[in-house]
A and B are shown apart, each in its own frame.
Chain A
Amino acid sequence: MTVQTQNLKWVQLCQRGDLVAESGVAARLEDQQLALFYLPDENRVYAIDNHDPFSQANVLARGLIGDLHGEWVVASPIYKQHFRLTDGQCLEASEVQLKTWPARLNNNNVEIALAL
């Protein structure tokens, strides 16, 4: 993803301590629900839409994460489709792609970027 930093506004969602290593938690931002996945070994956080389009439930933060063909994915806990953490692409249905946000750890703050 090439995003111009100056067009982004970083907002804090929670603290590093709220995250669970190699697993997900859900956070809210106004009407949006985000699933945050934390990879401590890479010191990375991924933020993707918490809404599972197949079950219509807000559950992706509670899915298991892992790698398939070398890429990080989350498996929906309901019908088990896989979504790529980097860009939200569903591996089982090419037409389905979830919203993602640039996310980072800023010291102990967990932040995502919103386009201005």
Chain B
Amino acid sequence: MSQRKDLIIIGNGMVGHHFVDTFRALNGADQWRIHIIGEERHSAYDRVHLSEYFQGRSHSDLALGTSEGYQQAGIAAHLGTRVERIDRAAHTVLLSDGEELCYDKLVLATGSYPFVPPIPGHDAERCFVYRTLDDLDAIRSAADQGKTGVVIGGGLLGLEAANALTSLGLTTEVIEFAPRLMPVQLDATAGTVLKDKIEALGVRVHTDTATQQIETLNDGRLRLHFADGEPLETDVLVFSAGIRPRDELARQAGLKVGERGGVCIDNHGRTSDNDIYAIGEVALWDERIFGLVAPGYRMAETVAAHLEGCDSPFLGADMSTKLKLLGVDVGAIGDAHGTTPGTLSFRYHNEAKQQYKKIVTSADGKRLLGAILVGDNSAYDSLLQYYLNDIALPAEPDSLILPSASAAPALGPDALPDSATICSCMNVTKGGIVTAIDGGCCSVAEVKAETRASSSCGGCAAMLKNLVDATLEARGVEVDHSLCEHFSYTRQALYHLVQVEQIKTFDELIRRHGRGHGCDICKPAVASILASHWNEGVHDAAHVKLQDTNDTFLANMQKDGTYSIVPRIAGGEITPDKLLVIGQVAKDYRLYTKITGGQRIDLFGAQLHQLPEIWQRLIDAGFETGHAYGKALRTVKSCVGSTWCRYGQQDSVGMAILLENRYKGLRAPHKIKFAVSGCTRECAEAQSKDIGVIATENGWNLYVCGNGGMKPRHADLFATDLDDVHLIRTIDRLLMFYVRTADRLQRTARWMESLEGGLDYLTDVILNDCLNLGEELDQQMARIVDTYQCEWKATLEDEQKLKRFRTFVNSPAGDDNILFVEERDQIRPATHEEKNRLIASA
């Protein structure tokens, strides 16, 4: 065995992490011992989406890598540790904890730091920068007591910081030294349009303003003094005046650095020392620093390849950007200032709508050189493709930015060459996407999972969808399976996205993959997916707004607005004492009682505010919720079985109880019903259930995908003579596969019919494990079984949740419009006429 070499990566930021990821994917890692040293205490996270930290996303939501992940991959991660010095002669680095590590090759991925202009007073306690999670924590705690904020710097990041301060509830102002906002990207008119729009949103913008001194007042607040104009007081100040490469290690080690900073690299990412590479924002290539993540990723790939002896040179990168700043669309492509001589420019400025669009073309009007968009980014995708692929412009180039009765001629996916970059973050071309579709992907979600296109900034999502749809259509695949107007995905695809991207909330899912706010179709569907995948309480704060009333109040709403209550009676077995409790509760609250088809007892006629009291009594008596309100396992019906019945082959009641307790609470696309019969006389009617189990002399026969209901279907025999362990494992896998792949409100019967290959395919997947999913399905089910909790018990222990169970928020009374009459010695809702009569006689 050859000796493993040492590779050290300094900096665990976005690019450093991407490098490790790429390098491992190239299998290069096998010959190397890898060390990552990161100064931040957090493992690498998505800095591009840093601001979402203020919207409730945590480090783990934003994380790109985790310490455990690195550890599992055999990588030594030293987080919260800085490299103090590089000794090139000895090939060692010295860490802040005193440790010294040897390297054969070294990668610098130290990124950059925010530049703080040396204004007197800039180091006051309430002055911050906006770069790391720790910065944001500090800003948040300062903002807690404050009312106002100021951002110095009106560039891209400054405006993002201003937005963040606004989201913390601060009244925010932006100070820009230059005569306009985003001076690098925008021209004067665009800057003015942007300024007007931002001011209309309540953020004041001062351009042409030089800050001369920052005075700290007695109460800790700051007073800003300007060259001219009134001073300005603020609680919080954030500097966003540009970034500078963190090249201090390189300087100390004597590597070649640029005049204005940055570690010089060649096309392979090599610095002036052949054993040291630099990538990301610290690297200077062709006299240029790239302050965006995509070029950094390209450098990382170049270096990973080079270490493997491959040649994949870095030849610069496109710096076009599209963003939403404070809700305003801004796009900048190529050279929009028209600095190349002989260029033509076309402008469209709509003052009413506050939109500005400009394109700059070559002298002959055939090639796009740059563009600026403010207030409307709809043309961005097309323009970017013209620009990147050097596609000939239409005869009237301005048609691309003019509003017209028939929408602007968008560049269709057909017009793009295979080499066209669709996703510049993950470097995925049209050709790559078409190949993925040829390889079997048939939805945007699958293509995303396969190619990772659109999984970083998401800017290309619309483009990607167009391309995937067009390619699929060209292959004769039907595409529109939109769940509703908010999501152009099927439930299955959404499940996939939740799983692949580890999405935990509806808000995140709709932000990344949908539009609008959601509706009564997609909200419960997504809630069910999140519950199936994460098994978190349906009442957890982020999910509250998603549940329909039955799931919200853990009861079934009836036609008069009252609820019915169904405690679980597993297998239909119940003790006399428990029967007495149900009887007494029904009497005390005057509820209508009825035995259900699933061998349990339904209590009708409770008002919202009564539910907790009733449940407290049921729980005290040892009952649990029956999930009759959920798209979940309902009941496992059983006959009395071998214990009492002279024909019984096995203990069907015992098995029914075991199954019901195992799967209770499992959220699914639709309700699931089971039954267990003790012999082939089939008294439990197992063959009409989603899962039917019938005892044999040797064990159990398993039937699947039957149902009663509107379109009855007999279950199919799936496996025979199973012992208990194999029975449960088979059901685990089948249910989990159903939960993961069925469509919204699709019972198992329709689901199975919809699978290509039907029962045979299902047999292959579940019994022969042809997809190699078995273990994964087992694990998922185990997790769900392990994390089961009775939702009613949890609710009763939570004051905050109980607050929702009020008929009125401003009165303890019940709804006096709910009236009952008696029929067969029990209550029933009064009809409309009966109500009128009752009210009249009252």
Contacts and interface: CB of A to CB of B under 8 A. Distances in A.
A60 to B, nearest CB: 10
Interface stretch (B173-181, B197-205, B344-352, B553-561): B553-561
A13 B809 CA distance: 8
Interface stretch (B18-26, B134-142, B544-552): B544-552
Interface in A12-26: 13-14, 18-23, 25-26
B545 A22 contact: yes
A103 to B, nearest CB: 13
Given A23-B544, A63-B549, A64-B548, A14 B809 contact: yes
B560 A57 contact: yes
Contacts of A23: 544-545, 552
29 contacts: A13-B810, A14-B809, A20-B545, A20-B804, A23-B544, A23-B545, A23-B552, A25-B809, A26-B808, A27-B809, A28-B810, A28-B811, A28-B813, A33-B815, A55-B559, A57-B561, A58-B815, A62-B549, A63-B549, A64-B519, A64-B524, A64-B546, A64-B547, A64-B549, A66-B486, A68-B485, A69-B485, A72-B517, A75-B520
Contacts of A73: 519
A102 interface: no
A65 B275 CA distance: 60
A44 interface: no
Interface centre among A67, A72, A73, A82 (most CB of B within 10 A): A67
Contacts of B817: 33, 51, 57-58
Nearest to B167: A41
A27 B810 contact: yes
A2 interface: no
A17 B186 CA distance: 44
Contacts of B485: 68-69
A67 B545 contact: no
A62 B808 contact: no
A10 to B, nearest CB: 15
Contacts of B806: 25
B809 A26 contact: yes
A4 interface: no
Interface in B797-813: 803-804, 806-811, 813
Residue of A14, A22, A80 with highest tally of chain B CB at under 10 A: A22
A77 B549 CA distance: 6
Contacts of A59: 549, 557, 561
A95 to B, nearest CB: 19
B523 interface: yes
B518 interface: yes
A interface, how many residues as a size bin? 35 or more
Nearest to B550: A77
Nearest to A68: B519
A23 B608 CA distance: 16
Interface in B522-551: 522-524, 544-550
SS class, residues of chain B in contact with chain A: loop
A59 B808 CA distance: 11
Given A19-B809, A58-B817, 16 more contacts: A20-B544, A20-B804, A23-B545, A28-B813, A33-B815, A56-B560, A59-B561, A62-B553, A64-B523, A64-B548, A67-B486, A67-B519, A70-B516, A73-B519, A75-B519, A78-B561
A27 B817 CA distance: 14
Contacts of B803: 18
B517 A66 contact: yes
B555 to A, nearest CB: 11
Contacts of A56: 560, 832
A103 B809 CA distance: 16
A34 B561 CA distance: 15
Contact of A28 (B549, B552, B804, B808): B808
Interface residues of B, number: 37
Interface of B: 485-486, 516-520, 522-524, 544-550, 552-553, 557, 559-561, 608, 803-804, 806-811, 813, 815, 817-818, 832
B579 to A, nearest CB: 31
A2 B545 CA distance: 30
Contacts of B516: 66-67, 70
Interface in A81-114: 82
Contacts of B518: 66-67
Contact of A77 (B548, B560, B813): B548
Contacts of B517: 22, 66-67, 72
A22 B523 CA distance: 12
Nearest to A64: B520
Nearest to B552: A62
B804 A63 contact: no
Contact of B520 (A28, A58, A63, A72): A63
Contacts of B804: 20, 25
B545 A18 contact: no
Nearest to A110: B809
A62 B516 CA distance: 21
B520 A80 contact: yes
Nearest to B561: A57
A63 B808 CA distance: 15
Contacts of A18: 803, 809-810
A15 B68 CA distance: 45
Nearest to B831: A56
A82 B521 CA distance: 12
A4 to B, nearest CB: 26
Contacts of A57: 559-561, 817
Contacts of A33: 808, 815, 817
B544 A62 contact: no
A34 B547 CA distance: 21
B810 A14 contact: yes
B830 to A, nearest CB: 11
Contacts of B552: 23, 62
A65 B524 CA distance: 11
Contact of B557 (A13, A28, A77): A77
B559 A21 contact: no
A80 B745 CA distance: 16
A72 B518 CA distance: 10
B549 A21 contact: no
A72 B517 CA distance: 9
Nearest to A41: B517
Contacts of B557: 59, 62, 77-78
A18 B561 CA distance: 21
Nearest to B547: A64
B559 A78 contact: yes
Contacts of B486: 66-67
A108 B808 CA distance: 18
B517 to A, nearest CB: 4
A21 B545 contact: yes
A19 B810 CA distance: 11
Contacts of B561: 55, 57-59, 62, 78
A73 B809 CA distance: 21
